[in-house]
Amino acid sequence: MTELQKYSVDTSHLDFDPDEVRRKYIQERDKRIRDDGFGQYQHATGELAGFMEDHYVEPGFTRDALNDEVEVLIIGGGFGGLLAGAQLRKAGIEKIRYVEKAGDFGGTWYWNRYPGAQCDVESFVYFPLLEELDYIPKERYSHAPEILDHSIAIAKKYDLYRDTCFQTEVTELRWDEPSKLWTIYTDRDDKIKAHYVVMANGVLTRPKLPGIPGITSFKGHTFHTSRWDYDYTGGSCEGGLSGLADKRVGIIGTGATAVQCIPHLGKDAKQLFVFQRTPSSVDVRNNAPTDPEWAAKLEPGWHKERVENFSLTVSGRPKKSKPGKDQVSDGWTDVANEAEKMAREKPKTTPEQKKELLEVADLKKMEEIRHRVSSIVKDEETADALKAYYWQFCKRPCFHDDYLQTYNLPNVNLIDTHGDGVERITPKGVIIDGQEYELDCLIFGTGFELGSSYTSRSGYDVIGRDGIALSEKWADRPSTLHGIASRGFPNCFFLGYIQTGVSPNFTHMLGEQAQHLAYVINEGRKRGAKTIEPTQEAEDAWVNVIERTAESVERHFAKCTPGYYSNEGEVGNRNGFMNGQYGGGPAQFFQIIEDWREEGSLKGLEIK
């Protein structure tokens, strides 16, 4: 189906012209596609290194360098690393060490403590290991401190604090063939040997900054949202930013992070300027405290069932699964549900028509979200600028009940750049359309590095057998078996978005991957393996599956306004975040790896 091909399904019930809206989507996308793609951003290094400062630890931490050996070394203490650690502990592995650049466990939730930080995915499916920890989240959509506490609770439950190296960054991993061990080098001069390495580096870990001219010249106060400076703003994650009462504050970015912190900035700053390049779609949040009666009635096994139900509903069911009621039923699942409902009403729908129904359901949803803007924002021009014209999953959908209302406050100004972005930063502020906006504080809500290569995002290289670097092997695209291991890098396992089934519920995917890699390591140990790695044949076969199935995902992103989901418009660049993922969806991917484990022969792995 081409982008503007007439739909063959009935659209007469719509109270808008779908062709007109689709035409507008194309115009809005084309306005934003840039030749420099991901190259428009820069690393927070050199003169910009201050943006990486950890405000949550006491300065001056030192310790002696380590020169010893462990069984498993896990890089990263976010949910990926924690879930891997929990599974490995369950498998009876004692000597596990974490290397983590933060001052504690928590990953994303360690760093993202900005005011209003909250999880957009329902807590009852997002929080991992709820039944194991006998815990029920306090609200339907949890705030950051509770999620950080849960991370710490997992670490305590599985005794993962025992051998941690916090405030430590890996600088290189190097394989030693004679000893069949990895050596892990760090910025604290450690030289640790490990039989197995798990790279749980995380996804939203490296703040990215726009390459706006003059960015280093700003003389006021500045920071990135993932390194919130409460010493300057006052207050906490809950708000109360008293330090901003006499400040002119600017924020660049209107993504999921900005949507959550802007209501607090609007409430507390003397003046707030929001510099917008592309509006987010902002649907209702409808948060509520957990109903204790509902919680009391939950039967054992409820959590796994709900988590699986969410991934199935949001991303399509594999053939084996049973149909079932949408248990979460919120803004993430609306479009899929509506498309399914329309398909039920129209028997004999062809696969092509099913795709059309999905688009129609999406158009309806986004139209509803645009109406919501008009019904809340009083100034018409501001309301129009806040309307998102793209398919719902082109960018991260947002949910908030105070964001749009913030633009009705007299001290809040939306400065829309009509897709161009901020023109220049000066010592005094920000220039848009030739006009300078003077600021005391400039906040970057500009997101995280996702479009670069895996090793660039990791911040270190991995030198495998025969001195081959992972950055070389994966220069064009990753190459793995099931996203967790790559030939030439024995006993090294990856967690995260690499050739895997992407779910909006990131912790579900991490949990499945953690279970899978713990199974592989444990089976390897049982079989007395010195090394485990994919055979060339099995790896090539998986890469072929990815190439074949990723195409449908890329076809979707080619229709999109650029953002990190679509690799900033560089569709086809297999190093991007969503590109080069398993196109059959998470549920089908989880089924593939579960079937593989059940088969039991470690098919496609070379065990020596």
- Could you list the residues that contact ligand NDP (CB under 6 A)? 118-121, 204, 210, 212, 252-258, 260, 275, 277-278, 396, 421-422, 445-448, 563-564
> In whole angstroms, how close is the CB of 53 to ligand NDP at the nearest point?
17
> In whole angstroms, how close is the CB of 347 to ligand NDP at the nearest point?
38
- The DSSP letter of residue 143 is B
C-alpha distance across the termini of the chain, in Å: 49
3-state secondary structure of 579: coil
Residue of 137, 163, 167 lying closest to 150 (CA atoms): 137
State the maximum Cα–Cα separation within the chain, in Å, rounded to a whole number. Answer: 72
> In whole angstroms, how close is the CB of 461 to ligand NDP at the nearest point?
25
Within 201-271, residue ranges assigned H as helices are 230-233, 256-268
Q: Which residues contact 333 (CB under 8 A, 6 or more apart)?
A: 310, 313, 314, 326
Tokens of 229: 């400076």
Task: Decide whether 114 or 542 has the Cβ nearer to ligand NDP.
Answer: 114
Task: Decide whether 205 or 271 has the Cβ nearer to ligand NDP.
Answer: 205
Helices 334-345 and 351-376 meet at what angle, rounded to 10? 130
3-state secondary structure of 155: helix
DSSP string covering 459-523, please?
Answer: TSEEE-GGG-BHHHHTSSS---BTTTB-TTSTTEEE-SSSSS---SSHHHHHHHHHHHHHHHHHH
Residue of 365, 385, 363 lying closest to 373 (CA atoms): 385
> In whole angstroms, how close is the CB of 525 to ligand NDP at the nearest point?
35
Q: Which residues contact 22 (CB under 8 A, 6 or more apart)?
A: 3, 4, 363
Partnered with residue 275 across adjacent β-strands are 252, 415
Placement of tokens 């059309």 in the chain: 356
Task: Decide whether 199 or 256 has the Cβ nearer to ligand NDP.
Answer: 256
Whether 365 and 249 have beta carbons less than 8 Å apart is answered as no
> In whole angstroms, how close is the CB of 2 to ligand NDP at the nearest point?
25
Cα separation, 371 vs 369, in Å, equals 5
Task: Decide whether 186 or 280 has the Cβ nearer to ligand NDP.
Answer: 280
What is the total residue count of the chain?
A: 608
> In whole angstroms, how close is the CB of 280 to ligand NDP at the nearest point?
7
Residue of 527, 463, 514, 513 lying closest to 489 (CA atoms): 463
> In whole angstroms, how close is the CB of 417 to ligand NDP at the nearest point?
6
Task: Decide whether 197 or 272 has the Cβ nearer to ligand NDP.
Answer: 272
Task: Decide whether 399 or 596 has the Cβ nearer to ligand NDP.
Answer: 399
Strands (E), 310-411: 398-399
Q: How many CA atoms lie within 13 A of 603 on its CB side?
A: 12
Task: Decide whether 22 or 143 has the Cβ nearer to ligand NDP.
Answer: 143
Task: Decide whether 275 or 497 has the Cβ nearer to ligand NDP.
Answer: 275
Task: Decide whether 115 or 421 has the Cβ nearer to ligand NDP.
Answer: 421
> In whole angstroms, how close is the CB of 436 to ligand NDP at the nearest point?
16
Cα separation, 311 vs 587, in Å, equals 6
> In whole angstroms, how close is the CB of 537 to ligand NDP at the nearest point?
35
Task: Decide whether 22 or 277 has the Cβ nearer to ligand NDP.
Answer: 277
Task: Decide whether 414 or 463 has the Cβ nearer to ligand NDP.
Answer: 414
DSSP string covering 63-130, please?
Answer: -PPP--EEEEEEE--SHHHHHHHHHHHHTT---EEEE-SSSSS-THHHH---TT-B-SS-HHHHSTTT
Task: Decide whether 60 or 434 has the Cβ nearer to ligand NDP.
Answer: 434
Task: Decide whether 377 or 502 has the Cβ nearer to ligand NDP.
Answer: 502
- The DSSP letter of residue 248 is E
Chain center to CA of 44: 19
Whether 103 and 54 have beta carbons less than 8 Å apart is answered as yes
Enclosing H/E stretch for 324: none
Task: Decide whether 506 or 596 has the Cβ nearer to ligand NDP.
Answer: 506
> In whole angstroms, how close is the CB of 38 to ligand NDP at the nearest point?
11
Whether 182 and 190 have beta carbons less than 8 Å apart is answered as no
Whether 87 and 96 have beta carbons less than 8 Å apart is answered as no
Residue 600, CA distances (Å) to 490, 496, 603 in order: 20, 24, 8
Task: Decide whether 290 or 417 has the Cβ nearer to ligand NDP.
Answer: 417
Task: Decide whether 401 or 606 has the Cβ nearer to ligand NDP.
Answer: 401
